[in-house]
Amino acid sequence: MKQNKQQKDTATGLLGAKAKTLELNIDRYLSLVEQSVLLLHDAVKKYLNGKFESFELQRNEIDQTEREADNLRRDIKHKLYAEMLIPDSRGDVLALLETLDNVTDRTKDISSHFSIEKPEVYPFLKDDFLELMELCVKTASEVTLAVRAFFRELHRVTEHVEKVHYWEHQADEVEERIKRKVFEREGIQEFSKRVHMRYFAERISQIADDSEAVADRLAVYAIKRSI
């Protein structure tokens, strides 16, 4: 029986042929999650290079992406209940979507904080901040692949989850490097500026933490489906 269930999952995926529209909406939602982090990466790069007008345009695009993702998530939730789809896994899917929402919310919050607070990022930290953003992009991208695998190729969830953990750990190391650099550096007179850099390093790194939280849930849900 277990083998037959796994074969069915492999052939049709979790949603099956009757829920093609829902599957497309979920796929679009995952693309928006990944897109929001890519947009933030580009926005931070513009900010660090002093292209503040371009940064603000990018920030507006991040806001639009976050709103679109929110609307789509609500529509998916409605369809899951209204059309009585996947009753056995519905709660798990909704929890996944809610946890993924933290990623898009985080990108919007970070871009807003850059816009409002206008932190002075010292030149010796710019490469580190860009590396931290790149690692967050990799973590978020890998977790969207993991979620797609949950719906289509359950046996591949574990490999993607492991990569999420790897990239999240790399992000933690860069976050710590930034903190050590800014607090060990001589010549920064105002302590508040050191704290400001620590604050932004922590906020950006939180994207990787949010992605890992999704991966942790996903690992449990994948085990449940395989039983």
One-letter-per-residue 3-state SS of the chain: CHHHHHHHHHHHCCCCHHHHHHHHHHHHHHHHHHHHHHHHHHHHHHHHCCCHHHHHHHHHHHHHHHHHHHHHHHHHHHHHHHCCCCCCCHHHHHHHHHHHHHHHHHHHHHHHHHHHHCCCCCHHHHHHHHHHHHHHHHHHHHHHHHHHHHHHCHHHHHHHHHHHHHHHHHHHHHHHHHHHHHHHCCCCCCHHHHHHHHHHHHHHHHHHHHHHHHHHHHHHHHHHHHC
Give the domain ranges of the chain: 16-226
- Total-model pTM: 0.89
CATH of 16-226 given 1.10.620.20, 1.20.58.220, 3.40.50.2000, 3.40.1400.10: 1.20.58.220
> Residue 206 — very low, low, confident or very high, per pLDDT cuts 50/70/90?
very high
> Residue 4 — very low, low, confident or very high, per pLDDT cuts 50/70/90?
very low
pLDDT digits (tens, 9 = 90+) for 87-134: 666 788 888 899 999 999 999 999 999 999 999 999 999 999 999 999
pLDDT digits (tens, 9 = 90+) for 26-68: 999 999 999 999 999 999 999 999 999 999 999 999 999 999 9
> Residue 152 — very low, low, confident or very high, per pLDDT cuts 50/70/90?
confident
